[in-house]
Each structure stands twice: as C-alpha cells, then as structure tokens.
C-alpha cells in the first residue's frame, strides 16, 4: 500500500487502518537510512520501535543504555526485550508490522527517528554510541 506524502496530522493518523499504519511506518524507515539499523545496537532491519512519550530522566536512559521513548526510535527484537524488562512506565515498544498503533505513537514516530534521537543525545552532552548486545558473539 502506498500512502500520499506526509507529514500527516494527528487526526489523519488516527484514521489509519492496520495496512496504512504498516505502510506509514515503513515509509519512515525508508526515509532515513539510520532508521534501517537498531538505534541501540545497530542490528540491521529493526522490526520494533519505541514510540510513546513518558516523562523520564535522560540520565536514567544514559545509565541504562536504552533509547528514551520520546524519540520514536527503531530497535531490534533483542533490544526490545531490554526495553520491555524496564517496564512500560519507562519505555513502551511495539512491533512495526504486527501491532495496532495509537495516533499519538504514530505521531512520535513521524516526528522522531533514530537520527533525531542521536542528535538529542549529542545536544545534551552525551555522545551516543551503539553497544554490542551482551549475548552477541
């Protein structure tokens, strides 16, 4: 499915069916090459994303080495497990192709992305560097 060019309003995002959501998220991945790699560990073709806003400390995420949810970053399944283990009160992940997304989460993805998340860290004095997952060889 092909969508008309965005950006889309909040109201428009709220009317998307599952196929339109999948196409929308895929278009975000394709619009920026940094979204084609996991934000946390650089694994290719991430199929998960954090796309909702929680008011948490940047320091917590720097110490925990995970992406804050305010940036709409794309992550791999391994890193999604790390995010999930922290609890939904800190980070909330969804499948890019399987889950039904709320309009606000789609908006965070439209406004965010991996490159913007990295720029956010750098603007706050943190030089974000992807890490190698513990179980990676």
Tell me the longest C-alpha to C-alpha distance in the chain.
45
Is 134 part of any domain?
A: no
Find the CATH number of the domain harbouring 43: 1.10.220.150
**Total tally of structural domains belonging to the chain:** 1
Is 129 part of any domain?
A: no
b (16+ CB within 10 A) / e for 102-113: ebebbbbbbebb
Q: What pLDDT, on the 0 to 100 scale, is given for residue 50?
A: 81
Is 47 part of any domain?
A: yes
User: Going by DSSP bridges, is the β-strand pair 93-95/73-75 parallel, antiparallel, or unpaired?
Assistant: unpaired
Q: What pLDDT, on the 0 to 100 scale, is given for residue 69?
A: 45
Rounded to the nearest 5 degrees, what angle is found at the Cα of 2, between the Cα atoms of 35 and 102? 65
Is 61 part of any domain?
A: yes
Residue 30 pLDDT greater than 80, yes or no: yes
Rounded average pLDDT over 82-109: 83
Domain coverage including residue 101: 10-123
pLDDT range class, residue 18, cuts 50, 70, 90? very high
Phi then psi for 87, rounded to 5 degrees? 100, 150
Interval 85-94: pLDDT, tens = 877 666 778 8
CA gap 85, 83 in Å, rounded? 5
Is 136 part of any domain?
A: no
Q: What pLDDT, on the 0 to 100 scale, is given for residue 117?
A: 80
Structure tokens given for 15 = 């009317």
CA gap 136, 110 in Å, rounded? 30
pLDDT, mean over the chain: 77
Is 133 part of any domain?
A: no
Interval 64-77: pLDDT, tens = 455 444 678 899 99
Is 131 part of any domain?
A: no
Is 71 part of any domain?
A: yes
DSSP H helical ranges for the chain: 10-13, 18-31, 58-64, 77-86, 103-111, 114-123
């Amino acid at each position: 499915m092909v969508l008309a060019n965005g950006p889309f309003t909040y109201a428009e995002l709220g009317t998307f069916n599952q196929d339109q959501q999948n196409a929308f998220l895929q278009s975000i991945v394709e619009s920026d090459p940094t979204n084609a790699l996991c934000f946390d560990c650089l694994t290719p073709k991430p199929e998960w994303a954090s796309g909702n806003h929680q008011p948490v400390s940047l320091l917590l995420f720097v110490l925990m080495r995970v992406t804050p949810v305010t940036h709409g970053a794309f992550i791999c399944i391994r890193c999604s497990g790390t995010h999930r283990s922290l609890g939904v009160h800190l980070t909330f992940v969804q499948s890019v192709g399987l889950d039904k997304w709320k309009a606000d989460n789609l908006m965070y993805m439209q406004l965010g992305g991996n490159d913007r998340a990295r720029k956010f860290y750098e603007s706050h004095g943190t030089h974000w560097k992807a890490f190698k997952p513990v179980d990676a060889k």
